[in-house]
Amino acid sequence: MFKMKTSHMSAVFDSLSRFYASSIGKKFLVALTGLVLIGFVFGHMIGNLLIFVGKDAINEYGHMLQTALHGGGVWIARLGLLAAVGIHIVATIQLTRANRAARKDAYGQHKAQVSSKASHTMIWSGLTLLAFIVYHLLHFTVHAGNDYGTYHTTLHGETVHDVYRMVIAGFSWAPASIFYIIAMLLLSTHLSHGFSSLFQTLGVSTDKTEPLFKKLGYAFAGLVLVGNCSIPIAILFFHYGR
């Protein structure tokens, strides 16, 4: 009885690992994790834009994130995102290596007829984003090399982390702001291809929806670029909150 069960378990496991081992299987995971990351990027941007609503608005939002599910919520989100980013990166690096191996000898002449520049540089925009994610976490989450963790303020009579002051201080330093802006430019190129691409990978694009996904992708890439860059630009160049 027990033996039967484990062999069924391992049959399921075998099939799943064969799925991951296949080219389409890996791409499927890249698309699913890409979709999760797109959702995160959107939510994160909307939350951050609360800085323009005012000091209390963003501090309340930050406090809500920190205390959701008695502080467990933020960790569930972090672990989920870590898994998504991890799978996305490992799979895309494996796929990129397999693609390079599939053509070892370069052409003398090779013309791209229809594909965008962005689609040819996904691994580079992606790896820059990875560097950015690490920097961003050190900067605003771990507070490595800064004292932003000690910024506190009172909100409705409670002592809370002063997110507002942290962001203003963080983006008052030009090199940080400029790196953020560069990273957002690359994120928007990544999304200009990745957004519509994921629907093709998941097998749902049709001749009617493909142009729609394309337009939505460009719009989303533009929105993320403008929305996220507005914060460092407002602070660094227009002295917002300083």
In terms of CB distance, is 39 or 72 closer to ligand HEM? 39
Please tell me the distance from the alpha carbon of residue 44 to that of residue 131, in angstroms, as a whole number.
18
| Rounded Cα–Cα distance for residues 40 and 64 (Å) | 16
Measured from the Cβ of residue 226, the count of other Cβ atoms closer than 10 Å reads 13
Residue 68: CB minimum distance to other proteins, A? 33
* Of the candidate residues 68, 127, 216, 234, the single one contacting ligand HEM (CB under 6 A): 127
CB of residue 17 to other proteins, shortest distance in Å? 10
Instruction: Give the amino acid at 160.
Output: V
Contact 192, 116 (CB under 8 A): yes
Contacts with ligand HEM in 23-62 (CB under 6 A)? 27, 30-31, 34, 37-38, 41
Binding residue for other proteins, selected from 9, 204, 219, 226, defined by CB under 8 A: 204
Site string for other proteins, 101-140 (x = CB under 8 A): xxxxxxxxxxxxxxxx--xx-x------------------
What does DSSP say about strands 158-161 and 152-155: parallel, antiparallel, or unpaired?
antiparallel
Helices and strands (H, E) in the chain, number of each type: 9, 2
Helix axes 23-48, 72-102, angle to 10 degrees: 140
Question: Interface with ligand HEM includes 230 (CB under 6 A)?
Answer: no
Could you tell me if 116 and 196 are in contact, meaning their C-beta atoms sit under 8 angstroms apart?
Answer: no
Q: Decide if residue 5 touches other proteins (CB under 8 A).
A: no
Pick from ligand HEM, other proteins, none: which does 114 bind, CB < 5 to 8 A by kind? other proteins
155 three-class SS = strand
CB 15 → other proteins: shortest distance, Å? Answer: 3
Q: Would you tell me which residues interact with other proteins (CB under 8 A)? A: 11-12, 15-16, 18-19, 21-28, 95, 98-99, 101-116, 119-120, 122, 193, 196-197, 200-207
